[in-house]
Structure 1
Amino acid sequence: MAEAAHRRTGSRSDDRRSADQLFNRELDHLPPEARWREWMHRVEATIFAASEPVTRETLARIVGKGCSIDLLIDDIREELRGRPYDLVAVAGGWKHLTRPAYADAIRAAVGSDEKAAELTQSDVLVLMCIAYFQPITRAELSSFFGKEISRDFIGHLRGAGLIASGPRSPAPGAPYTYVTTKEFLLEFGLDTLRDLPDFEALEDAGLLSKEKLLAGDIPLAVEATSLDDDDMV
């Protein structure tokens, strides 16, 4: 039985290799302008059809080896200028998204996206803290906010797919740490964590530091909007 499963797996791999060999990526028979146009169409069609952001590696399978994905994307976006949708870099790939200016019209027509996470202000504050300081433990989060961050609250964010367990902390007891996920990037429209506002610049300027925050040496702006008890259940 295991041998049969292995044969089926091998057969699927052979099929994929055969398909790759038959698929003409280079389009050498076309003049340069027509070749570039066809690559643009392939890339846009693939991103349009995908439910998740399409990575650079995936797009490289459908264009020539010497083709610049970034230049293709730039040309596609230029053609979409003035349209109500665009190609957006998010979560390590590209996704076809409507422009924010049309959000109200879309909601009026079809309602809100049921898959979108419903986040409270407390959720967002804790997520931002994890995003900047990851990997971070629940105890460190509690020290940051000056009140207990419950296991249930962490479970709520994990259940939404926005955070995951990171490496064990070297602190006594080796508690779990937490990190943000690809779903977090999607939720906040970020390509990578580097797109977060530059916290290092704030640290270099002496305005904020993780150590001082966790030691309680800096008054936290979040104290003015303290976490509701209902949110922390």
Structure 2
Amino acid sequence: MAKDRSEPELDRELPDLPPALRWREWMRRIEAVLFASAAPVPRADLGRVVGQGVSVDLLVEDLMADLEGRAFEIAQVAGGWIFRTRPVYAPAIRAAADVGDQLLDLSEFDIAVLAAIAYHQPITRDGLKDIFGRDISRDLIGRLHARDLIGTGPRSPRRGAPYTFVTTEQFLVAFGLESLEDLPDREQLQDAGVVAAAANVDLG
């Protein structure tokens, strides 16, 4: 007879624990979920591991405070939360760890094209050509697709119905944005040197 491998139902309420320990256990559950997840975890999903009606936001805030001074932090991006290493430790990680697959490895012009897509999406290749004054190579578009920074948007309502490009959730994650509303304005991009490769880019 096969052994029953089903897991017991998760006790969300933890009624046998005193309030302080119950709160700490809920924090640790959220920490475990975020640590194990490769993508941002939405509030609703985190709510499945804590008591009914418990504030996920307050638990995350307490967990953030608990991590103060550690090499890791919790960031709110793409409509959820994710664990990430604090930026100040990036040089140490690059010096000692194999993180090649995690690097964007994009040129300044690649970033400028990505910024144009982010601000004008959905946008066609002809639309990008109008912005940059030249054709954008399929190779460049392919690099952005390969890194899951852009995807295919709705067909343009023009003759031939060309494909459009839009940014992805991974774009938000890669640049630490909670939503597209957090995109910096043109002046901030220029100050950061992001659009220096395309001086005539109109980001609207």
Q: Would you say same fold, with TM above 0.5?
A: yes
Q: Normalising to structure 1: TM-score of the pair?
A: 0.73
Which whole-Å CA distance do the structure 2 matches of 1:155 and 1:196 have between them? 23
For CA contacts below 8 A with separation 6 or more, give which structure has more relative contact order: 2
Q: Which residue is 2:10 aligned to?
A: 23
Change (3 A) 1:130 1:224: closer
Equivalent position to 2:25, from 31, 38, 57? 38
Matches within 5 A, 1:95-174: 95-174=82-161
Query: Once the 2 structures are TM-superposed, how far is the Cα of residue 117 of structure 1 from its aligned partner?
Result: 2.1
Paired residue total = 189
Corresponding position of 1:81: 68
**Bigger shift: residues 63-72 or 189-198:** 189-198
1:30-65 Cα offsets, whole Å, 9 max, x none, are 222221111011111111122222222221110011
Where do 4+ consecutive residues of structure 1 move more than 4 Å?
220-226
Q: Which protein is richer in helix relative to its size?
A: 1
- Matching residue of 2:191: none
SS at match of 2:11: coil
Residue 172 of structure 2 aligns with which residue?
A: 185
1:165 maps to a residue whose letter is: T
* TM-score normalised over the length of structure 2: 0.83
Q: Which runs of 5+ in 2 are unaligned?
A: 1-5, 188-194
Other-structure match for 1:60: 47
The range that moved more, 47-56 or 165-174, is 47-56
- Secondary structure (helix, strand or coil) at the match of 1:97 reads strand
Seq. identity, %: 51
Amino acid at match of 2:129: S
State which structure, 1 or 2, has the greater radius of gyration over its C-alpha atoms: 1
Q: Check whether the contact 1:145–1:222 (CA below 8 A) recurs between aligned residues.
A: no
Distance, in Å, in 2 between the alignment partners of 1:221 and 1:125 is 8
Structure 2 residue identity aligned to 1:149:
I
1-structure distance, mates of 2:158, 2:105: 33
Q: What 5-or-longer segments of structure 1 have no aligned partner?
A: 1-14, 203-219, 227-233
Measured in 1, the distance between the counterparts of 2:98 and 2:35 equals 21
* Counterpart-to-counterpart distance in 1, 2:79 and 2:199: 35
Alpha-carbon deviation of 1:108?
1.7
Q: d(CA) in 1 for partners of 2:25 and 2:127?
A: 52
